[in-house]
Amino acid sequence: MTERVGAAEAAHRSWAERVRAWAAELKALPGLIAAGIDSIEHGTGLTDDLVVAVAERGIAVVPTLINIDNFPSIAAAGAEKFPV
């Protein structure tokens, strides 16, 4: 029987010291956190419960602070992808 492992676990087992993901929307975050990655670049859309999960797992978050300045004007322009 072949054992199924996730991409992050397989990378850790074989050669990767760290597995990081570029994530700029909410729907990607729960799966990435559950997959066992080591860091999230951007992390746009982290909700309170996801922040708790990130902290519990020791996942580093590398925020892009310019997004905090830019998102209000992007949302005001009618972009559907970004929350108001």
Least Cα distance to 26 among 7, 50, 8, 6 occurs for: 50
What distance in Å separates the CA atoms of residue 4 and residue 35, rounded to the nearest whole number?
13
**pTM, two decimal places:** 0.69
Q: What is the pLDDT of residue 49?
A: 94
Q: Are 75 and 84 in contact (CB under 8 A)?
A: yes
Q: Is residue 56 situated within a structural domain?
A: yes
The torsion of the CA quartet 39, 42, 48, 52, rounded to 10 degrees, works out to 10
Q: Are 36 and 8 in contact (CB under 8 A)?
A: yes
Q: Is residue 9 situated within a structural domain?
A: no
What distance in Å separates the CA atoms of residue 14 and residue 38, rounded to the nearest whole number?
15
**Least confident segment among 32-36, 41-45, 66-70:** 66-70
pLDDT over 50 at 25, yes or no: yes
Q: Is residue 4 situated within a structural domain?
A: no
Q: Which domain holds residue 31?
A: 18-76
**pLDDT band at 2, cuts 50/70/90?**
very low
Q: Looking at the 3D structure of the chain, how many domains does it have?
A: 1
Q: Is residue 23 situated within a structural domain?
A: yes
Report the pLDDT averaged over residues 58-80: 80
pLDDT digits (tens, 9 = 90+) for 28-41: 899 889 888 999 99
